[in-house]
Amino acid sequence: MEDLVFGRRYRVIEKIGSGGMADVYKAVDEVLGRTVAVKVLHPRYASEPNFVARFRQEAQAAANLSHPNIVNIYDWGRDGETYYIVMEFVAGTDLKTLVTERGPLDPKRAAEYAAQVCAALAVAHGYDIIHRDIKPHNIVLTPDGTIKVMDFGIARAGNTTMTQTNSVLGTAQYISPEQAQGRPLGPASDLYSLGVTLYEMATGTLPFNGETPVATALMQVNDKPAPPRSVRASIPPALEAVIMRALRKNPGERYTSAAEMRADLKRVLDGEAAIGGSYGGGEPGHTSVLPPMERSTQQARTGGPRVQPVPERRTSPWVWVAVGAVVLAILGLGVAWALGAFDDKGVLVPTLSGLTEEQARAELTTADLTLGEVTTENSETIDVGLIIRQDPEAGKEVEEGAAVNIVVSVGVARVVVPDLTGLEEADAIELLRAEDSGLDYDRTIKEFNAEIPKGQVIRTDPEANAEVPKNTRVTLYVSDGVEQVKVPDVIGKPLAAAKADLEAAGFVVTSTEDFSDTVAKGSVISQTPDPNVVYETGSTVTLVVSKGPEVILVPDVRDQDEASARSEIMGAGLVPKVVYVDAAEDDDGLVINQSPIPGASAKRGDIVEIEVGKTPEEP
């Protein structure tokens, strides 16, 4: 990528994303030496006042939000014709990618993530800011399990009058009915979008997904979602209740605030019922009463079926004898049945799948059967503690008191994440993908590291020695070696400012002093390494700092011989210049006079003229 710098301090490393309004870059803040994300408005919007105003407003509004679950905004500005926002760089995986690659999340994990989003929205709504685009793409899970809500790209303060004619901002699969209709939005709109996101996390599917965005938006307005438990039976009823309330069409029937929804999610995590999750009239879960069947006109009049009269005729006596014999035979069969002559003692085995062991024991006791052998087995679909299968199977006829064996789920098989620290990336990937590892490789994230050689594993997510479900995908964090950056040019700057610039870029600073006639006292004369050289962070940069011009006092060399005078003048950093003058014999070879005079101020390299006596030769 070409050398791209914003605001003369944010140097781009790579492009990491693109949205409807802006591109996002990973960059280094060369003043503070930290990694940041820079969001840059697309050129096609930079000349449109409405988009520019919304973009600037996003920065001003979001900069007020400070919360562990919200991506921080550091700076914003304009560089030429380009508008940009500088924000916290978050390493992690967005929830959309997580669900796409791994399928539906554990219901409690989904509830935990949604509760963190509620915490973030509660802060934003407190500032009268509606996010307007809550979706799993904008929610990032960091390696330590923290949720970060990002991209307030179409958020704006709720009391603003700014509008955009004939446009609906948001993503069709996640927008609320009122947003799809272009109506005013409030906090309930974000909670609806969070309900869709939670539905997707828990079931792995979207409640509404038409063939086109318009069709999907119409479904948001008109259609009712299928209850989550009809898609995935293992979802707790309490969590389903939270989701279904968040997805009410009427905003007034949803949760009144993000805090209220978060409180219900906390109850779900604690195994309690959701207080705010009861269904209204006509919602799933209500029992309907069937109307009574109409009787025929004759039955309504007489109270019984219509009886046709039988014509009277004479009957032979022998007929009555035959009828008597039949009656006696029927009575004999009835007595035999009552005494158990035709009873084979058979009992039907009840259905035990999906029950707990204690529930199964009670069912079997009621059916005059006993609980036989109880074994356990891993299962990816049946929750821990519930019965996977039984022997004999449900509906089979067995003798009274017979034993029924059951297999109980112990959940997904769990394995321990190995310690891969120090392994080469390729070796670590091969180990994770081995059939007997019970794990799988997810992806690699490169990080600068001064201690671990380039190409070796720094850590993993999940972390080493963690017990995780079998087939968990492991992310590798691999060393990209020592970070290398350009050495800032600090020549001519005061020592304090020069030191701050270099330390912000990650360098260690040492300094020496020297005289300078051209550089002000206390400012940098030179630096090693030279400016703009690419150097490893943590390395030492040495500065030579000016002590100002050097002042030399001219020595007194009068009455010294020429050689001694020359030596003393040169030792003081000055240059001697000898002029011979006629003198008496006693002054022959001695300095008679000097200029400048002794004690005068001079600079290094200045000339000191000395007059050396010389006796004239005899003619």
For the record, the structure tokens of 346 come out as 């058979």
* Identified catalytic residue from 75, 79, 106, 133: 133
Ordered strands of the 508-514 beta sheet:
508-514, 540-546, 524-528
Tell me the helices (H) and strands (E) count for the chain, helix number first. 16, 31
Domains of the chain: 5-88 (3.30.200.20), 93-160+169-277 (1.10.510.10), 346-409 (3.30.10.20), 414-479 (3.30.10.20), 484-546 (3.30.10.20), 552-614 (3.30.10.20)
440, containing H or E segment: strand 439-447
Sequential DSSP letters for 106-126: PHHHHHHHHHHHHHHHHHHHH
The whole-angstrom separation of Cα 307 and Cα 288 is 36
pLDDT of the residue at 83: 84
Question: What's the alpha-carbon Rg for the chain, to the nearest Å?
Answer: 45
pLDDT of the residue at 326: 38
Q: Bridge partners of 582?
A: 614
CB burial of residue 67 (10 Å; 0-12, 13-18, 19+): middle
- Segments of the chain with pLDDT less than 50: 153-169, 277-344
Contact (Cβ atoms closer than 8 angstroms) between residue 106 and residue 256:
no
Annotation says 133 is catalytic: yes
pLDDT of the residue at 128: 85
Nearest by Cα to 202 from 262, 268, 258, 122: 268
pLDDT of the residue at 321: 39
pLDDT of the residue at 267: 93
pLDDT of the residue at 151: 74
Contact (Cβ atoms closer than 8 angstroms) between residue 152 and residue 131:
yes
- Per-residue pLDDT reduced to its tens digit, 115-160: 999 999 999 998 888 888 899 999 999 988 899 998 764 444 333 3
513, containing H or E segment: strand 508-514
Q: Bridge partners of 192?
A: none
The whole-angstrom separation of Cα 477 and Cα 608 is 69
Identify the DSSP state of 94: E
pLDDT of the residue at 543: 96
To the question of pTM greater than 0.85 for the whole model, the response is no
**3-class SS at 168?**
coil
